[in-house]
Chains A and B, each alone.
Chain A
Amino acid sequence: MEKLNYILKRILQMIPVLIIGILLVFALVRFLPGDTATAILGDKARPEVLAAYREKMGLNDSIFKQFIVYCQSLVRLDLGDSTQYNMPVATLLASRMKVTVLLTLMATAMTVVIGLPLGYLSGIRKDRLTDQGIRSFALLGLSLPTFWVGLMLMLIFGVQLRWFSISGWGETWIDHVKGLFLPALTEAIFAASVIIRNVRNNVVDVRGQDYVDFARCKGLGGFRVGCMHVLRNAMIPTATLLSIRIISMLGGTVIVENIYSLQGMGALLVGAVSSRDYAVVQGAVLAFILVVLAINLLTDILYSVLDPRIALK
């Protein structure tokens, strides 16, 4: 019950963020320098086309009315039409969403699989050679620019060793996973480095806690003490950090989709920015905001599961 209340509260707290997000996306095209219709349709558009466009988009109305109209069209899932692809933006996004979400999920899974064990190992071996090695690795991982890591992984494992296909992502699920392996790894290297450092410091802190000693006094084995007492508590602060990293990896799809020629939302956004396809820019940014809110909500739920104290705070 307390948990449900907490989650409902978090959902309510997201509404203002969503409204501001919609406002910003709405404002995005209105901020364009010069006349909006000209900026969208280009300098060469004939005056009557521009006038028709203004009429259709309601650009002659008051800004307030425009916003209401925009919100109404959002409710109808009408995000306008792409000038570049000549199709509704909503359809376009729906076809691109899967790659990006799957890529981010895989990258998250890799981040956890790499970050948790290495961070834990580093923490329990504090100041020993293992710790120093893992920490140097993590520091290097933090310093490598993501887009370059992507290119290097592609060059080594895709071009030279030919272990993975490096363009597109195939038809079947197995193809998807294979095709997304390198892109996901590219994103996971930075995120895992952040997680390693965080988990390591948390493990060092938690190991000094009395409850770990008390657990050992119960005659528990090292593995059980490590999992149930050390890691379980060390993971709580990491959960928040992980959600920040997931959001940032979602943003990172902009780069890796470009490198690996994946047809996802990130590549769509960059392409739309370059070709000034503003309806798509708006739609993609909005879609990203929605995914971020979903991730935040999932994190809150995970957090309330990990830390029973949270509902009472």
Chain B
Amino acid sequence: MDNILEVEHLKMYYCGKVETVRAVDDVSFHVERGETFGIVGESGCGKSTVCKSLVKMMPPPGRIVDGSVRYNGRELTTLSEGQMRAVRGGEIGMIFQDPMTALNPVMKIKDQIYESLRRQKLSKKEMYARGVELLRLVDIPEPEKRMEEYVHQFSGGMRQRVMIAITLAANPKLLIADEPTTALDVTIQDQIIRLIGRLKEELGMSVIIITHDLGVVNEMCDRVVVMYAGHIVEQAETRELFDHPMHPYTQGLIRSLPRAEGREKLEPIPGAPPNLAAEIPGCPFADRCARCTPACREALPPLREVRPGHLSACVHDDLEVSV
């Protein structure tokens, strides 16, 4: 098995003066070369934080307390800021949720692309040619004209394409897309998803998609982990996860999806995720779980293989229900 990224027992805590927030708590997963890997969960469950910690971009007072992140076998957690910068500007690229806020409003598009090309030591002319080529790659019409423009002159979908182009300028081998479609209109979302899929094939990248949208997962991902309250609660191949969701949280997520066929009513998961500053002895989902038993509150349930290649962190064994 050829893994581009291996994450083991990663713990990223916000160590504030008053309280410690366990934003990422003992998370392990791997991404295979050439696959599209999904991380799903509600907002605030720690999925974005995981990805920020991979490239050591946690906002203060965030700290990686324990665990390891290996990219192509190379340990990242011990790298200096300077070495880390080279990784960020090269091997691992990131796309943000809202292209309106993630692009600098006062810099021309071309200058923002040039920044990504800085490590490649190109001449001005080569940079310009490469910039135009990149904009063309992400299907932006009239790239020469667009190079000279500013973010506010682009529409939402075009902005997201620009951001993808900027990220691709550094030739990343691993692309992390943090909610790449959330801020976009539904009609545009599909275009962007297909664009990312196409670029992945053309450029031979591996992709991590972070999303709260199971539809996106279904469409794009080969494998997926479900996160809740800083923990991974379930991990499986996409088909398997949708066919046999094992964890009550995943089941809840799937039940809360609007479906085309049938007129069943939506079932939102009641309650809200727990406060990560407080110590939770048992299963973090217990408070919102319909199947909660006293055993759930005793200890944190470990991830166990419940079906071939399918891990779930629930104390109840035989919980597969049709959803």
Contacts and interface: CB of A to CB of B under 8 A. Distances in A.
A197 B220 CA distance: 48
Given A219-B170, A309-B152, A312-B152, A214 B89 contact: no
A236 B86 CA distance: 31
Given A210-B101, A228-B107, A218 B152 contact: no
Contact of B89 (A218, A228, A233): A218
Given A216-B57, A218-B166, A220-B118, A308 B104 contact: no
B295 interface: no
Interface string B199-221: 00000000000000000000000
B90 interface: yes
Interface string B138-171: 0000000000001010000000000100110010
A229 interface: yes
A217 B57 contact: yes
Given A214-B94, A309-B152, A220 B85 contact: yes
Contacts of A219: 85-90, 119, 170
A292 to B, nearest CB: 27
Interface string B89-100: 110011011100
Interface in B58-86: 85-86
Contacts of B101: 209-211
A215 interface: yes
A312 B105 CA distance: 13
Given A210-B102, A306-B106, A312-B152, A215 B115 contact: yes
B199 to A, nearest CB: 17
A307 to B, nearest CB: 6
A233 B119 CA distance: 24
A218 B115 contact: yes
Contact of A214 (B86, B102, B150): B102
B55 interface: yes
Contacts of B90: 219
Nearest to A126: B60
Contacts of A308: 105-106, 108, 150, 152
Contacts of B97: 210
B116 interface: yes
A233 B104 contact: yes
Contacts of A214: 94, 96, 102-103, 163, 166
A233 B94 contact: no
A213 interface: yes
Contacts of B150: 308-309
B102 A213 contact: yes
Contact of B106 (A213, A220, A307): A307
Interface string A193-204: 000000000000
Nearest to B84: A219
Contact of A218 (B98, B108, B116): B116
A213 to B, nearest CB: 6
A145 B68 CA distance: 58
A221 B102 contact: no
- For this complex, into which size category does the number of interface residues on chain A fall? 20 to 34
Of listed B104, B108, B163, B170, residue having the most chain A CB within 10 A? B104
A145 B42 CA distance: 55
Task: Choose among A218, A229, A232, A312 the residue with the greatest number of B CB atoms under 10 Å from its CB.
Answer: A218
Nearest to B97: A210
B86 A211 contact: no
A49 B98 CA distance: 77
Contacts of A218: 88-89, 115-116, 166-167, 170
B175 to A, nearest CB: 11
Contacts of B102: 210-211, 213-214
A226 to B, nearest CB: 13
B96 A220 contact: no
Interface string A256-295: 0000000000000000000000000000000000000000
Interface in A137-167: none
Given A229-B104, A308-B106, A312-B152, A220 B57 contact: no
B30 to A, nearest CB: 22
Interface string A222-237: 0010001100110010
Nearest to A224: B115
A213 B118 contact: no
B312 to A, nearest CB: 33
A308 B152 CA distance: 9
Nearest to B119: A219
A215 B104 contact: yes
Contact of A309 (B57, B87, B105, B116): B105
Contacts of B104: 211, 215, 228-229, 232-233
Interface in A73-91: none
A216 B152 contact: no
A235 to B, nearest CB: 9
A239 B85 CA distance: 32
Nearest to B90: A219
A233 B107 CA distance: 10
A296 B88 CA distance: 43
18 contacts: A210-B98, A211-B102, A211-B105, A213-B96, A214-B96, A217-B93, A218-B89, A218-B115, A219-B90, A220-B85, A220-B115, A224-B115, A232-B104, A232-B106, A236-B106, A308-B108, A309-B106, A309-B150
Interface of A: 209-211, 213-221, 224, 228-229, 232-233, 236, 306-309, 312
Given A216-B57, A308-B106, 4 more contacts: A211-B104, A214-B94, A220-B115, A309-B150
